């Protein structure tokens, strides 16, 4: 039996999910200065126009979904689970502090 947690969120004005990648999480944090939750990932994010490919981020100003992503990321880190993250690989993709913006987040069993 496969068990996973999938979070799917979008900004209607800029949603363009075009890439997903399986990663492991090596750290999770919150930055008050950038108003983001950041997740350190390995391997680096591929095919992203963003300059920081060692992290994915979500704004803490985005509704309440950031709380669920933060909790799921911490659980995945503690359990050493593989996570599939979705992001945009288009040249017009939004970046937060240079990192790809999380558009889907799936914790695998």
Q: Encode the chain (109 residues) as per-residue pLDDT tens digits.
A: 444 444 444 433 345 578 999 999 999 999 999 999 999 999 999 999 999 999 999 999 867 889 999 999 999 999 999 999 999 999 989 999 999 999 999 998 8
What pTM did the predictor assign?
0.84
| pLDDT for res 100 | 97
Cα→Cα distances 68→5, 39, 46, 98, Å: 10, 13, 25, 22
Tokens of 59: 């704004």
- Stretch (H or E) spanning 15: none
């Amino acid at each position: 039996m496969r068990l996973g947690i999938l979070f799917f969120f979008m900004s209607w004005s800029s949603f363009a999910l075009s890439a997903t990648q399986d990663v492991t999480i090596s750290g999770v944090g919150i930055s008050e200065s950038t108003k983001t939750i950041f997740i350190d990932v390995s391997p680096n994010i591929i095919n992203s126009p963003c300059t920081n490919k060692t992290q994915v981020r979500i704004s803490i100003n985005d509704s309440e979904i950031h709380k669920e992503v933060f909790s799921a990321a911490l659980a995945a880190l503690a359990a050493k689970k593989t996570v599939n993250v979705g992001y945009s690989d288009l040249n017009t993709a939004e970046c937060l502090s240079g990192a790809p913006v999380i558009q889907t987040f799936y914790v695998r069993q």
